[in-house]
Amino acid sequence: MDKMRFAVVIVTYNRLKLLKECISNVLEQTIPFDNIIIVNNCSTDGTDSYLEQLKRENINNDNINIINMDENIGGSGGFYYGLKKSVELNNDWTLLIDDDAIISTDYNELISTFINENSSGKFSAVSGTVCVGKEIDTNHRSNSISNFRLKVSHIDKKEYDKEFFDYDFTSFCGVYISNKVIGEIGYPCKEYFIWHDDTEYSIRLRKSGKIRNINAAKLDHRVNFNTKGVDNQLNWKTYYGIRNMTDLTKRHYSVMGQIYTYFLHSLSLYKFKFKIHKSDVDKKNIQLYKDALYDGKNSILGKNKKYLP
Q: Rounded to whole angstroms, how far apart are CA atoms 269 and 79?
A: 31
Long-range contacts of 251-258 (CB under 8 A, 24+ apart): 251/200, 252/150, 252/200, 252/203, 253/148, 253/149, 253/150, 254/148, 256/148, 257/148, 257/149, 257/150
298 three-state secondary structure = coil
| pTM exceeds 0.75 | yes
CB atoms within 10 A of CB 103: 22
Residues 6+ apart with CB under 8 A from 99: 10, 11, 12, 13, 15, 18, 19, 22
φ/ψ (deg, to 5) at 135: -100, 135
Residues 6+ apart with CB under 8 A from 64: 36, 38, 54, 55, 58
Q: DSSP for 25-39?
A: HHHT-SS--SEEEEE
Q: Rounded to whole angstroms, how far apart are CA atoms 202 and 124?
A: 9
pLDDT of 276 over the 60 cut = no
Q: Rounded to whole angstroms, how far apart are CA atoms 214 and 147?
A: 26
Q: Rounded to whole angstroms, how far apart are CA atoms 81 and 167?
A: 26
Instruction: Dump pLDDT digits (tens) for 64-106.
Output: 999 999 999 999 999 999 999 999 999 999 999 999 999 999 9
Look at phi and psi of residue 133 and say left if phi exceeds 0, alpha if psi is from -120 to 50, else beta: left
Q: Rounded to whole angstroms, how far apart are CA atoms 248 and 196?
A: 8
pLDDT band at 278 (very low <50, low <70, confident <90, very high): low
Read off the pLDDT of each residue in 254-270 and give the average, rounded to a whole number: 82
Q: Identify the burial level of 178 via C-beta atoms within 10 angstroms of its C-beta, where 0-12 means exposed, 13-18 middle and 19 or more buried.
A: buried
Statement: 6-221 belongs to CATH 1.20.1300.10: no
pLDDT, position 228: 41
Q: Rounded to whole angstroms, how far apart are CA atoms 24 and 18?
A: 10
Q: Would you state the torsion angle of the CA atoms of residues 196, 88, 47, 45, taken in this order, to the nearest 10 degrees?
A: -40
Instruction: Dump pLDDT digits (tens) for 188-225.
Output: 999 999 999 999 999 999 999 999 999 999 999 998 75
pLDDT of 265 over the 90 cut = no
Instruction: Dump pLDDT digits (tens) for 121-171.
Output: 799 999 999 999 999 999 999 999 988 888 899 999 999 999 999 999 999
- Checking DSSP bridges between strand 35-40 and strand 64-68, what pairing results, if any? parallel
Domain boundaries of the chain, sorted by first residue: 6-221, 236-297
